[in-house]
Amino acid sequence: MDRRYQDLERFHRLHCAGSFFVTRPKTSLLLRRIRSLPVDKATGVRSDWIVHTDGVKTIKAYPDRLRRIRFRDVETKKTLIFITNDFVLPAQVIAALYKARWQVELFFKWVKQHLHMKSFFGTSENAVKTQVWVAMSVYVLIATLRKRQSLDHLSLWQIAQVVSLTCFEKRSANSLFLCEKNDSRGGGHR
């Protein structure tokens, strides 16, 4: 999770539910080191600590131990600090998981732009997966229609609009876009 969404009470609920999280702590978060774990600095890991939150409100919000990892990214030359409730994975894997979250964010940006999904109809894992799979299937079908009908002059969004407006009509795909084809060749009318 991105640090702007940091909510220690929420993290503790995730922890109690058996899930794990990786985030970057806000600079104002006070942590007290309990002990240091051995690190291999060749992996980019600079420190790996077991910590407790320190402060009246933060101890109440997250009363269990955390893990604080300081990592030096050789590509960006930045030193990053992560906190997690996972004590099993190697520190460099924790850093890689946080870096991979950007790919997840890019995927959801693509979903919103290309599949026109602004929100999910359900919140269960099955409901979200079903909605994403249906939207991706429709996207692939429209892309296939575009290629087979040689509709390169139309965007996928334009084709989706035509299909959505005529989805309950008994017409072939050829007839849906016949006018558009003729218009692009200089003949025909809409």
Tokens of 150: 């040689």
Residue 189: inside a domain, yes or no? no
The boundaries of the domain holding residue 145 are: 125-184
Clarify whether residues 145 and 97 are in a common domain: no
Residue 147: inside a domain, yes or no? yes
Residue 112: inside a domain, yes or no? no
Give tens-digit pLDDT for 13-62: 999 999 999 999 988 899 999 999 999 999 999 999 999 999 889 999 99
Tell me how far apart the alpha carbons of residues 124 and 42 are, in angstroms, rounded to a whole number.
41
Is 162:149 a contact under the CB 8 Å cutoff?
Answer: no
Per the structure, how many domains does the chain have? 2
Residue 68 confidence (pLDDT) above 50: yes
Clarify whether residues 129 and 173 are in a common domain: yes
Clarify whether residues 49 and 85 are in a common domain: yes
Beta strands in 20-179 (DSSP E): 22-23, 31-36, 45-53, 66-73, 78-84
Which of 85, 101, 117 is a domain's end point? 101
Sheet holding 22-23, edge to edge: 22-23, 78-84, 66-73, 45-53, 31-36
